[in-house]
Amino acid sequence: KTLKQVLGINMFQVALAGIVGFIANSTGLLGAALDNLADSAVYIVSIYAVGKGAVAQSRAANLSGVLLIGLGLLLLGEVIRRFLTEAEPIGWAMIITAIINAASNLFALRLLKSQGERGVHMKASMVFTSNDMLVNLGIVLSGIGVMLLNSPLPDLIISLITVGIVLKGGYEILKEAKKARRQAENDQK
């Protein structure tokens, strides 16, 4: 039930950040939307893993990590494209959207923490949501930078940082999945 609620929150964030990011020419918001889309995929996989054994949970987490890394690389391509086209983002739209998304992430994180440690797939979900909080803080700061400097560079910089956060999160999840799989194999012996 909790994962379904968090999935709903993430789908809201995908729509909000994606639409506003497109309209406001913000790679930071588009990156947040892409990150939330990856989170949604993780929550769908995690919902599948609920009640399954540790091996199924580790496979679900492994898939989540691979998806996150793939989407991080797609975002990197978009940042490079936007850098070459020099789109002008709208700072105030970035700030308002990031604050709304941060508030919904805080709610989602509380929902997830209320479930405690229930497998690697839940840990993966918490990593994603925690990363989203950092991304939204960065988008607020970059929105302020865009407005003060009248330049798209702060938006592009936060997008690159988002790529780093996304890739690091994917790596951490793959590492946790591998650890859980080894533990499950050792338990079976």
Q: What is the pLDDT tens value at each position of the chain, 189 positions in all? A: 777 888 899 899 999 999 999 899 898 898 888 888 877 877 777 777 767 777 777 777 788 788 888 888 988 998 888 888 877 899 999 999 999 999 998 998 888 888 766 666 667 777 778 878 888 998 999 999 999 999 999 999 988 988 888 788 788 878 888 887 788 778 776
Task: Note the pLDDT of residue 11.
Answer: 92
Task: Note the pLDDT of residue 182.
Answer: 83
pTM (two decimals): 0.76
Question: Taking Cα atoms as reference points, which of 162, 140, 128, 165 lies closest to residue 32?
Answer: 162
- Rounded to an integer, what distance in angstroms lies between the CA atom of residue 77 and that of residue 55? 34
| CB environment 148-179: b (16+ within 10 A), e (fewer) | eeeebebbbbbbbbbbebbbebbebbbebbee
The total number of residues written for the chain in this structure: 189
Task: Note the pLDDT of residue 12.
Answer: 93
Task: Note the pLDDT of residue 118.
Answer: 63
Task: Note the pLDDT of residue 121.
Answer: 63
Task: Note the pLDDT of residue 6.
Answer: 84
CB count in 10 Å sphere of residue 84: 8
Task: Note the pLDDT of residue 184.
Answer: 75
- Rounded to an integer, what distance in angstroms lies between the CA atom of residue 28 and that of residue 93? 11
In this structure, is the dihedral angle defined by the CA atoms of residues 58, 12, 128 and 87, taken in order, positive or negative? Answer: positive
Task: Note the pLDDT of residue 86.
Answer: 73
- Rounded to an integer, what distance in angstroms lies between the CA atom of residue 77 and that of residue 129? 23
